[in-house]
Amino acid sequence: MSLRITPLTDPAHGAHSRRLAWLASDTDSAPLGTAFLRLFDGGQEHLAELTLHVHPVERRKGVGSRLLDAAVAAARDNGRRCVITQAESGSAGDHFLPARAFRKVLTLRFARLPLADVDATALAAVVERPHPGYRLASWQGTVPDALARTFAASRRAMDDMPMDDTDHGTVAWDVDRVRAAAKAVEQRGDELHTVVAIDTRDGSIAGFTELVVPGDGTGDGQHYGTGVLPEHRGHGLGRWMKAESIRQAHERCPDIGGLLTDTADSNTHMRHISDSLGYVPTHTTLQYQLDL
């Protein structure tokens, strides 16, 4: 099969990453597939993240392999030591990637909480249960200036999250980065909701959970990170914050259908929190890594 791989100009650059793109097309310029490669910085300069799609009727014709070759070559040229990508369990990608020397490094379990099924009374009981020494606070969009520095510092709560064999690195967070992340959500038309647990002794943030809601108020919301600093673990803060995030979504976003979450299979603690709050498993995705 004769095909052409064309590099594209991709405007989806972030404050701490940039993205390369390629289009596969046939001799008549009909599109066959695409590949995107995100290159990170700020503690992940070694890493590239691949997203590759081939039209179902064009598979098994070498399109995916050609796109992959272009992306891997670019990763090497940019000094990356590994490429990661995801494929749903049992999918075409799940068969394609191991045949191209990718190895499975992480299993992600996805779950959904239908908001119509939320027991508001039971949820309120979780939120209102006292947690001596802590209080909850929340905001929409960018972190308030008064909490910006301690919020950035609290992001290290994610440094030891279970990533199994993934060469994930450690993301370097500062005030500019947390503001840039919130701005990126806003610019694409969505809303970022953040709930934090504050240590009442010194006013510092002990943990956080983030939820992104579609800007039009419909569809499903997506949980982002939830983390508690190591020195504050063992007090039930993770479940407390997530319950408050659900409560707020249930009250403020009546047309949202549900909330989505994904958790490493090995992160049994966070999976237990989601299970206890009513999340229902939906599917499994496998993360693959190619070492360069």
Taking the C-alpha atoms of residue 263 and residue 145, their distance in angstroms, rounded to an integer, is 30
| pLDDT on residue 12 | 65
- The structural domains of the chain, with segments of one domain joined by +, span 3-80, 110-283
| pLDDT on residue 166 | 94
Tens place of pLDDT for every residue, the chain, 292 residues?
A: 689 999 998 766 666 789 999 999 998 899 999 999 999 988 899 999 999 999 999 999 999 999 999 999 999 999 999 999 999 999 999 999 999 999 999 999 999 999 999 999 999 999 999 999 999 999 999 999 999 999 999 999 999 999 999 999 999 999 999 999 999 999 999 999 999 999 999 999 999 999 999 999 999 999 999 999 999 999 999 999 999 999 999 999 999 999 999 999 999 999 999 999 999 999 999 999 999 9
| pLDDT on residue 1 | 64
Which are the contacts of 210, defined by CB distance < 8 A and separation ≥ 6?
A: 192, 193, 194, 223, 224, 225, 226
| pLDDT on residue 20 | 95
| pLDDT on residue 17 | 86
| pLDDT on residue 257 | 97
CA angle 280, 282, 288 (to 5 degrees): 130
| pLDDT on residue 46 | 96
Q: Check if the beta carbon of residue 193 is closer than 8 Å to that of residue 185.
A: no
Q: Check if the beta carbon of residue 32 is closer than 8 Å to that of residue 22.
A: no
- Which of these, 292, 288, 255, 268, lies nearest to 96 by C-alpha position? 288
- CATH T-level assignment (fold) for domain 3-80: Aminopeptidase (3.40.630)
* Phi–psi pair at 247, nearest 5 degrees: -60, -45
Distances (CA, A) of 89 to 95, 163, 211, 289: 9, 18, 25, 15
| pLDDT on residue 13 | 67
| pLDDT on residue 54 | 97
| pLDDT on residue 73 | 98
Taking the C-alpha atoms of residue 84 and residue 92, their distance in angstroms, rounded to an integer, is 16
Do 3-80 and 110-283 share a fold? yes
Class of domain 110-283: alpha beta
